[in-house]
Amino acid sequence: MSTVSMTVNGKAVCGEVESRTLLVQFLRENLGLTGTHVGCDTSQCGACVIHVNGKSVKSCTMLAIQADGADVTTIEGLADEAGLHPMQQAFMDNHGLQCGFCTPGMVMSALDIVNRNGNELDESTVRKELEGNICRCTGYHNIVKAVQAGAKAMGGS
């Protein structure tokens, strides 16, 4: 077992892990941050997407020990006392979620899309950029709208 420490959603955390412990397991099992989900075992579905040092990664395809010293943001780290993050709000306003299982990964990927592509996103860009996130419920129609609206809201005010 090794000790890892990192910053998760602004808080310093540490824990004991096996070498083989995945980052997503550390978040869910050691830290109780169960918002990050596991939907597949081949790095395809994107339910586990989080940000490590400001970039989106699939937390099922990274070892906890590889995140030692990193700055990690999960879905639990977005909303604050004032309310939902504009991207979360956009998902709610545009009915961009149904069962909610893929949603945390979708939102985290959406933020990464905005980080790299800015606040004015066309439909085809969003669809292409969501390649690594699978949803079975929504047919993506409203997710795409939500990402566009969220991006815009993040740029406004």
Partner 1 sequence: MIENGIGASVRRKEDQRFLIGKGNYTDDINVAGQTHAVFVRSPHAHAEIKGIDCSDALAAPGVVAVLTGDDLAADGIGPLICGVTVTSDDGEPHRAPAHPALAQGKVNYVGDHVAIVIAETRAQARDAAELVDVDYSVLPAVIDTGSAADSGQPQIHEVAPDNVCYNWPFGDKEGVEAAFAGAHKVSKLDLVNNRMVTNPMEPRAALGEYNQGMDEITLHLTTQNPHVHRLVLSAFNQLAPEHKLRVVGPDVGGGFGAKIFVYAEELVVGWACRKIKRPVKWNGDRTEAFLADAHGRDHVSTAEMAMDENGKFLAMRVQTQANLGAYLSTFSTMVPSYLYAFLLAGQYSTPLIYSEVKAVFTNTAPVDACRGAGRPEATYLVERLVDICAADMGLDPAEIRRRNFIPVDAFPYQTPVVQCYDSGDYPAALDKAMELADYSGFSARAEEAKSRGKLRGIGLSSYVEACGIAPSAAVGQLGAGVGLWESAQVRFNPTGNVQVFTGTHSHGQGHETTFAQLVCDQLGVPIENIEVIHGDTARTQFGMGTYGSRSLAVGGVAIARACDKLIAKGKKIAAHALEAAEGDIEFVDGNFSVAGTDKAMNIAEVAFTAYVPHSYPEGVEPGFDENAFFDPTNFSFPAGTHICEVEVDPDTGVVEVVKYSAVDDFGRLINPMIVEGQVHGGIAHGVGQALLEGCSYDSEGQLVTASYMDYAMPRADNLPSFDIDYAPTNPPDNPLGVKGCGEAGAIGAPPAVINAISNALGVRHIDMPATPEAVWRAAQQAAAVSA
Partner 2 sequence: MYEFNYRKVDSVAAAVEAMQQAEDGKFVAGGQTMLPTMKHRLASPSDLIDLGGVAELTVVNVEDGNLTVGAMTTHAAVAASAEVQRAIPALARLAGNIGDPAVRNRGTIGGSIANHDPAADYPAAVIALGATVQTSKRAIPAEEFFTGMFETALEEDEIVTSVSFPLPEAAAYMKFENPASRYAIVGVFVAKTGGEVRVGVTGATACAHRGLLLEEAMGGELDASGIDSVELPVEQMNSDIHASAEYRAHLVKVMTKRAVEACR
Calculate the CA 66 to chain-centre distance.
18
Structure tokens at 132: 């690594």
List beta partners, residue 49.
58
Candidate list 28, 129, 150, 154; residue touching partner 2; CB under 8 A: 129
Is 104 a binding residue for partner 2 by CB under 8 A? The answer is no
Q: Which is nearer to partner 1, 67 or 146 (CB)?
A: 146
Nearest by Cα to 102 from 128, 130, 62: 130
Phi, psi of 81 (to 5 degrees): -55, -35
- Cβ neighbours, 10 Å, residue 3: 10
Taking a C-beta distance cutoff of 8 angstroms, is the pair 71, 31 a contact?
A: no
Give the footprint of partner 2 on residues 61-80 (CB under 8 A). 61-63, 65-66
Nearest approach in angstroms of CB 120 to partner 2 is 18
Candidate list 11, 95, 116, 127; residue touching partner 2; CB under 8 A: 116
Q: Enumerate binding residues for partner 1 (CB under 8 A).
A: 18, 20, 28-29, 33-42, 44-45, 47, 74-76, 78-79, 84, 88, 91-93, 95, 97-104, 107, 123-124, 126-128, 130-131, 133-145
